[in-house]
Amino acid sequence: MSSSPKRAEIREITTGLSLKKRSFKKVYPFLSSLSFVSLPRCIDTTILLRQLCNLLLWATTGKSTVGIVINLEDEKKDKGKKALDNLLELVQDDLDKVNQTILLKMQSPVALIPQLAGHLIASGGKRLRPMLTLAASRLCGYAGDRHIQLATCVEFIHSATLLHDDVVDKSDLRRGEDTANAIWGNKASVLVGDFLFSRSFELMVEDGSLEVLRILSSASSIIAEGEVMQLVTANDTDTTEHAYMEVICAKTAALFAAACEIGGVIAERPKSECEALMSYGQNLGIIFQLIDDVLDYSAEQKTLGKSVGDDFQEGKITLPIVLAFRRGTDEERGFWKRTMEDLDQKKGDLDYAIELMEKHNALSDTIERARHYGKIACDALAIFPNNQHRQALTGIIEFCINRAY
């Protein structure tokens, strides 16, 4: 019977290793205790075996020149990118129609409106939220075209919130480009954001479904409430994790939830399936914001076209801050109060803040929280057939989490 390529590879790896019997016995129990079945799928077991054989060689020869490095970060990034590419491939035809509808519906005789809105919409966003509407609709077997206009509506709501956010946060950079408020000023940005909100409601009314109107209008109200709640908690180091979660559930997760739920509604699926899509979207939105909050203190921000430490400079209380503050010493809490509440920030404070977060595992534990919500999102999809759309939506959970690496 012929051996599998994997087994042949393993034999090739181990051939030629001259191991002293005594030394091998010291390492063998460790090797035999490993369960390759339980390893994450992103790890190539052949690569791992190569590294283990290097370990054996080092143990038996005493040579310390053998490096044992398993770079999982690149694999996680690649896996996340592949998941996004898979979803994009599935909905590409529909997404092209959404983009055409966006261009059509943002037109106005007031020249500044399409000019400013076009600057934001064309600045390289992933269109993740409208893609969720498209994929959720197809997952539920929808074969019409209502999802095109509703996905456009979702993108307009999102774009409006970004225009308003950049004004509130005094941001001058988004996706590596100057923000609209940095170019045209705060007044124009707020007013064009209002235009996009209004246009999104026109699209809801044109769809004709009161249930769709209820879901999306409710999401719009909740987003605004979340932004106000964030203003209340800003610069307040006494903010609890519960209060923080209320903020992100409102300002971020609400639109993710609505974008997915309406896919089931227009497909006329049972209430249980619509609620499952809502749960998936809500938990995905929580993941997205948790990882965003981690990324603000990561060098990865630069590759995303964003500034490192914006939240810190604004005194914005996010989960990494909450955890680091709660777990810190009195002296460390004094640092957080000075920098976040009083906004008395000096050179080197950002670096020290990141050092404290790492000391108290605040960043890694925030990522672990995201993984927890990822499991809930995955379970929410379990009632649907295991087709390519469900697999793509499941993969997006990994994409959102792996943005942290």
Residue 382 has pLDDT above 70, yes or no: yes
Q: What share of the chain is helix, strand, coil (3-state, %, to 5)?
A: 75, 0, 25
Looking at the fold, whether 244 and 357 belong to one and the same domain comes out as yes
CATH number for position 103: 1.10.600.10
Same domain (yes/no): 49, 160: no
323: which 2 tokens? 């955890």
Task: Kindly state whether residue 67 falls inside one of the protein's structural domains.
Answer: no
Tell me how far apart the alpha carbons of residues 212 and 264 are, in angstroms, rounded to a whole number. Answer: 10
Helices then strands, counting H and E runs in the chain, come out as: 20, 2
Where residue 172 falls among pLDDT bands split at 50, 70, 90?
A: confident
Establish if 70 belongs to a structural domain: no
Q: How many domains does the structure of the chain reveal? A: 2
* Confidence (pLDDT) at 54: 47
Residues 353, 359, 360: CA angle, nearest 5 degrees: 95
Identify the weakest region by mean pLDDT among 20-34, 133-147, 259-273: 20-34
Residues 206 and 321 in one domain: yes
Question: 42-46, 132-136, 311-315, 387-391: which has the minimum mean pLDDT?
Answer: 42-46
55 and 125: one domain?
no
Domain assignment of residue 69, yes or no: no
Q: At residue 60, does pLDDT exceed 90? A: no
Name the one residue in this structure whose structure tokens are 């009083």.
Answer: 342
Same domain, 225 and 272: yes
Whether the pLDDT of residue 349 is over 90: the answer is yes
Q: Within a 10 A sphere around the Cβ of 389, how many other Cβ atoms?
A: 23
Of 18, 38, 61, which residue is a domain's last? 61
Measured between alpha carbons, how far is 87 from 267 in angstroms, rounded to an integer? 19
**pLDDT digit string (tens) for 153-167?**
999 999 999 999 888
First to last CA, the chain: 43
Assign 240 to helix, strand or coil.
coil
In a domain, 200, yes or no: yes
Q: Is position 66 within any domain?
A: no
Q: Are 45 and 151 part of one and the same domain?
A: no
Name the nearest CA neighbour of 158 among 211, 209, 103, 199: 199
| 33 found inside a domain | yes
Q: Which residue has the higher pLDDT, 273 or 230?
A: 273
Which of 46-52's residues contact partners 24+ apart within 8 Å by CB, and which partners? 46/6, 46/9, 46/10, 46/13, 49/9, 49/10, 49/13, 50/13
Q: Is 49 in the same domain as 178?
A: no
- Given a cut of 70, whether residue 9 has pLDDT beyond it is no
Q: Is residue 71 part of a domain?
A: no
Compute the average pLDDT of residues 304-332.
89
- In this predicted structure, the answer to whether residue 19 has a pLDDT above a threshold of 80 is no
Report residue 201's pLDDT band, with 50, 70 and 90 as the boundaries.
very high
* Same domain (yes/no): 196, 272: yes
The residue segments making up the domain with residue 22 are 5-61
Check pLDDT > 80 for residue 212: yes
In this model, does residue 269 exceed pLDDT 60? yes
Write out the two tokens for 179.
């923000």
What rounded mean pLDDT belongs to the chain? 83
Residue 68 lies in a domain: no
Exposure letters 16-40 (e unless 16+ CB within 10 A, then b): eeebeeeeeeebeeeeeeeeeeeee
pLDDT, residue 405, reads: 64
User: Does residue 273 sit in the same domain as residue 234?
Assistant: yes
Question: Are 275 and 382 in the same domain?
Answer: yes
Whole-structure pTM value: 0.80
Instruction: Note whether 168 and 219 are same-domain residues.
Output: yes
Asked if 223 and 254 count as a contact pair (C-beta separation under 8 A), the reply is yes
Do the Cβ atoms of 116 and 184 come closer than 8 Å?
A: yes
Number of residues that this document lists for the chain: 405
Domain finish residue from 36, 61, 86 = 61
For every residue of 387-398, DSSP letters joined together read SHHHHHHHHHHH
* Residue 38 shares a structural domain with residue 144: no
Q: What is the pLDDT averaged over residues 210-221?
A: 97
